[in-house]
Amino acid sequence: MAIKFIEETKTFKLDTKTSSYIFRVFEGNYLVHYYYGATIPDTEVEELRFRANYASFCPDSPSAMVYNFSPDVTPLEYSTFGAGDFRLSAFAVENAEGNKVTDLRYVSHKIYSGKQPIPGMPSTYVNEDSEADTLEILTEDAVTGVLVTLIYTVFNNHGVITRRVKVENKTDKPFYIDTVHSACIDFPGMDYEMIDLYGRWGKERAVDRYPLHHGIQSIKSKRGSSSHNHNPFTAIVTKGTTEDHGDCYGFNLVYSSNFSIDVEVDGFACTRLVMGINPDGFKWYLEPGEEFHSPEAVMVYTNEGLGEMSRIFHRFYANNLIRGKWKKAKRPLLINNWEGTGMDFDDDKLVSFAKHAKDIGLEMLVMDDGWFGKRDDDKSSLGDWVVAEYKLKGGLSHLIDRVNALGLKFGIWFEPEMISPDSDIYRAHPDWCLHTEGRDKSIARTQYVIDYSRKEVRDYIYGRMHDILSNNNIDYLKWDFNRNLTEVSCSQLPKERQGEVFHRFVLGTYEIMDRLTKDFPDLLIENCSGGGGRFDPGMLYYSPQIWTSDNTDPIERLTIQFGTSMCYPTSTMGAHVSACRRTGYETKMNVALWGSFGYELDPDKLTAEEKAEITAQIELYHRYYDVIHYGDLYRLITPFENEFKVAWQHVSEDKNEALVTVIQIKQAYNQFFMLRLKGLDLQKTYKDTETGKTYSGAYLMNAGLNLTYKPNGDGQSYRIHLLAE
Ligand code: DGJ
């Protein structure tokens, strides 16, 4: 078992392939955290000590009268508000008496093989029970009877532990959950740096890295989505950590709405991280007999640097988060009409797209926004999911028949959580959008957000989608989400439940996505939110790929894709070649190949040479598909460290194949350039499939390739493809 309970010392030891995680039931039934890091032997667990600085103003706990024990300086496994620990609280309730004092202590535990799903929420899963062990620890606040179960799953073959909590009300009085984080981790010392992914529309997930300072540092969303602005990911790394060396603790939340990750360095220079639903705007009323489930936190530890941390996330998500047919099946090579036509298209235009696409070698046509209601611009019709026959003459089935007859599959765009004020549905149900009585409704992209906390509204929208999907031969669905939530309240809910609307909204979205994946198991779903505004593990549970950014400029894409790769696998990043003029098609392809590849341009406008170039690219796409989609990623030179050039490498699991890509962002004159490769087998011999030259793995990794004379003009790029002999 990956989880042990050592009876004599009441110690829990959770071991992954690369890490140990240790905590103990202490005097007074406090759960005290002792260790998280590289594996240590069971025999030395006894040696572990927690920090016991005792200082004035740190309150004692009468029920754990042990020398030097105060909740305020003890690394607690799941901290609570108001009972002696003044640092970040992982959990707090407002009880029936109206106060917020909360104090959870250990009651009992159980350990079992496998992992349970979270009702109504996305989470990582086991393919077989033997892949993971789960520990459930029941804790209780003795005064109020609030029950919280801390749930840990240890994935034996990955360096991964997941955490979440379940809150139960088995009392006869309701209470409010005020704060409910999914994980709380105390670190000894403060000698760490924090890495997060920040951005905005068109510039998602840039990497930020800074030393921890005393006080609280946070990343959060209050937008009702995980957002372009901050991603629910952070890494805490020891100073000096590189791609290849150093302690890395990676944290990612399987959640698509308001999140927070707070890191506090206290006055004793010790560190605590709490992560979960953002308490700002959240308050959950739990009636007797009800339970509440937090989202899941994924924790990765490695002492082999950021590159290995990312690869652990990638392998884990590819095996234990992505589901269904498209987990393994090769994704269709698509062309999307959005950048080519916007909403200015009709059936003949799309059929012409399809003809050209077929000639070039593409496999699927995706019809983007503009096919429904009276949709000629973004000012109308969201929610009116009826085919715009004035554009698609003869209807949707007729168009799809024509596209299918050319040998192409067909995909369609929806924005199921939105409603236009200028729509039949809004005119009939003006109360179906999120709004607060008596207040102006903020408008963004001329649209409102549908109140997905209301079941009848969800059922209506899903009914329309179901109708279109079940009556037409549709292979792919792009699910878009083009604004954030404002005036978040719901007139159907009582006053005490208004703090639930953000979370109920995302549960509503998850419910519809769940119905979609169950009713249409072969449908490939690509998520999107104005590009990558909802690129999170919650969405990946339902859709194996997400449109990474609306920014398709290949140079701009570099920071976006490098940042996204911090925890999200290559196969999840939607990446298209577009008509933007910054570089030639060679570089556009080289960048887009690092993802779920496709095209986003008007093929009617391509010259004969460009068409021939793209046809050749498609041959390469097929040749490299497996190593890119199923291989390991190595970031060789990142744009956050080098303004001139970047390089990355995909290596097959058996180390028999590698694809290296180098992009010259801007020309560097007279630069001597040696590139050391990574992840190869030192003992193997590799052949460069273009030049026929052979090298040992040892040479490639230790000395490196001399690439001084390769193309190095602004925006130029090249690949090196290696096969073991
Ligand atoms: C935003 C998406 O990111 C684009 O790809 C496109 O689908 C538009 N929305 C359509 O409105």
Q: Give pLDDT tens digits for 182-238.
A: 999 999 999 999 999 999 999 999 999 999 999 999 999 999 999 999 999 999 999
The residue nearest atom 11 of ligand 1, judged by CA position, is 369
Looking at the chain, the whole-number percentage of residues with pLDDT higher than 70 is 99
Mean pLDDT for the stretch of residues 647-669: 96
| Beta-carbon contacts of residue 530 (< 8 Å; ≥ 6 apart) | 201, 228, 480, 481, 482, 483, 550
- Residue 63 has a pLDDT of 82
Instruction: Compute the distance between CA of residue 335 and CA of residue 371 in angstroms, rounded to an integer.
Output: 16
**Which residues sit opposite 578 in a β-bridge?**
600
**419 C-alpha to ligand 1 centroid (Å):** 15
Evaluate: CB of 371 within 6 angstroms of ligand 1: no
Cα 16 from Cα 620, distance rounded (Å): 38
Q: Report how far residue 176's alpha carbon sits from residue 316's, in angstroms, rounded to the nearest whole number.
A: 35
Residue 65 confidence (pLDDT) above 90: no
E strands in 212-295? 215-220, 230-238, 248-254, 259-265, 271-277, 284-286, 291-293
Left, alpha or beta for 533 (phi > 0: left; psi -120 to 50: alpha)? alpha
User: Atom 10 in ligand 1: which residue has the minimum CA distance?
Assistant: 369
Q: Are 516 and 542 in contact (CB under 8 A)?
A: yes
Centre of ligand 1 from the C-alpha of residue 523, in Å: 19
> pLDDT band at 67, cuts 50/70/90?
low
Tell me: pLDDT of 68 over 80. no
338 lines ligand 1 (CB under 6 A): yes
pLDDT band at 47 (very low <50, low <70, confident <90, very high): confident
| CA-wise closest residue to 705 among 664, 670, 677 | 677
At residue 64, the pLDDT reads 75
Q: Which of 372, 480, 576, 596 to mutate to test the pocket of ligand 1 (most atoms within 8 A of CB)?
A: 480
Could you report the per-residue pLDDT of 258-303, keeping only the tens digit for each?
999 999 999 999 999 999 999 999 999 999 999 999 999 999 999 9
Tell me, using a 6 A CB cutoff, whether residue 482 lines ligand 1: yes
The percent of residues above 90 in pLDDT, for the chain, comes to 94
Is any ligand 1 atom within 6 A of the Cβ of residue 547?
yes
User: 297: which 2 tokens?
Assistant: 């936190």
pLDDT for 48 equals: 85
pLDDT at 581 (0 to 100)? 80
Indicate if ligand 1 lies below 6 Å from the C-beta of 550.
yes
Atom of ligand 1 nearest to the CA of 529: 3
- The CA angle 616-619-624, to the nearest 5 degrees, is 125
336 CA distance to ligand 1 middle (Å): 10
Mean pLDDT within 70-86: 95
3-state SS string for 530-555: CEECCCCHHHHHHCCEEECECCCCCC
pLDDT tens for 612-642 read 999 999 999 999 999 999 999 999 999 999 9
CB of 368 sitting under 6 A from ligand 1: yes
pLDDT confidence band for 379 (50 / 70 / 90): very high
Over the stretch 500-556, which tens digit does the pLDDT of each residue have?
Answer: 999 999 999 999 999 999 999 999 999 999 999 999 999 999 999 999 999 999 999
Specify whether the CB–CB gap between 197 and 206 falls below 8 A. yes
> For the chain, what percentages of helix, strand and coil (3-state, to nearest 5) are there?
25, 35, 45
Segment 593-608 shows an average pLDDT of 95
DSSP-derived 3-state class of residue 140: strand
Query: What is the number of the ligand 1 atom nearest to the C-alpha of 478?
Result: 7
CB 340 less than 6 A from any atom of ligand 1: no
Could you count the other beta carbons within 10 Å of the beta carbon of residue 346? 17
pTM, to two decimals: 0.98
The structure tokens 């590139």 sit at: 675
Per-residue pLDDT, averaged over 372-390, amounts to: 98
Question: How far, in Å, from the CA of 529 to the mean position of ligand 1?
Answer: 7
Domain spans of the chain? 3-320, 635-724
Question: From the CB of 186, is ligand 1 less than 6 Å away?
Answer: no
Q: Which fold has domain 3-320?
A: Beta-galactosidase; Chain A, domain 5 (2.70.98)
How long, in residues, is the chain? 725
Q: Is 657 in the pocket of ligand 1 (CB under 6 A)?
A: no
Query: How many helices (DSSP H) and strands (DSSP E) are in the chain?
Result: 12, 38
Distance 480 CA to ligand 1 centre (A): 7
Closest atom of ligand 1 relative to the 338 alpha carbon: 6
Active site residue 247: no
User: What is the 120 CA–ligand 1 centroid distance (Å)?
Assistant: 28
Phi, psi of 217 (to 5 degrees): -115, 140
Are 548 and 556 a contacting pair, CB within 8 Å? Answer: no
Best residue among 528, 539, 599 to mutate for probing ligand 1's pocket (most ligand atoms within 8 Å of CB) is 528
CA 42, CA 19: separation in Å to the nearest integer?
12
Question: Which member of 347, 480, 602, 632 is catalytic?
Answer: 480
Distance CA 307, CA 564 (A): 13
Backbone angles phi, psi at 620, to 5 degrees: -70, -40
Exactly one of 103, 262, 550, 553 is catalytic; name it: 550
Q: How many A from CA of 514 to the centre of ligand 1?
A: 22
Q: Is 550 a catalytic residue?
A: yes
For atom 1 of ligand 1, the residue with the nearest CA is: 530
CA distances from residue 272 to 275, 294, 391 in whole angstroms, order as listed: 10, 19, 57
Mean pLDDT over residues 700-716, rounded? 96
Contact call for residues 167 and 181 (beta carbons, < 8 A) = no
- The pLDDT value recorded for residue 129 is 97
Closest atom of ligand 1 relative to the 368 alpha carbon: 7
Q: Is residue 707 within 8 Å of 675, Cβ to Cβ?
A: yes
Asked whether the beta carbons of 362 and 333 are under 8 A apart, the reply is yes
Neighbouring-strand partners of residue 250: 235, 300
Is ligand 1 within 6 A of the CB of residue 369? yes
Residue 588: predicted pLDDT? 97
For residue 601 and ligand 1, the question of a CB distance below 6 A is answered with: no
Q: Cα–Cα distance between 52 and 34 in angstroms, integer?
A: 12
Average pLDDT over residues 7-22: 95
Q: Judge contact between 14 and 20, C-beta under 8 A.
A: yes
Atom from ligand 1 closest to the CA of residue 528: 3
Confidence of residue 669 (pLDDT cuts 50, 70, 90): confident
Q: For residue 531, report the distance from its CA to the centre of ligand 1, in Å.
A: 7
Ligand 1 centroid – CA 530 distance (Å) = 6
pLDDT at position 385 is 98
Question: What's the CA gap between 215 and 711, in Å, rounded?
Answer: 48
Instruction: Output the CA 551–ligand 1 centroid distance in Å.
Output: 11
- Atom 4, ligand 1: residue with shortest CA distance: 530
Distance 386 CA to ligand 1 centre (A): 19
**For every residue of 333-395, which 3-state class applies, written as one string?**
CEEECHHHHCCCCCHHHHHHHHHHHHHHCCCEEEECCCCECCCCCCCCCCCCCCECCCCCCCH
Smallest CA-to-CA distance from 464 within 415, 523, 411, 403 is with: 415
Counting atoms of ligand 1 from 1, which one is nearest the CA of 413?
Answer: 7
CATH domain 635-724 topology: Immunoglobulin-like (2.60.40)
Pocket test for ligand 1, best of 336, 337, 534, 547 (most atoms within 8 A of CB): 547
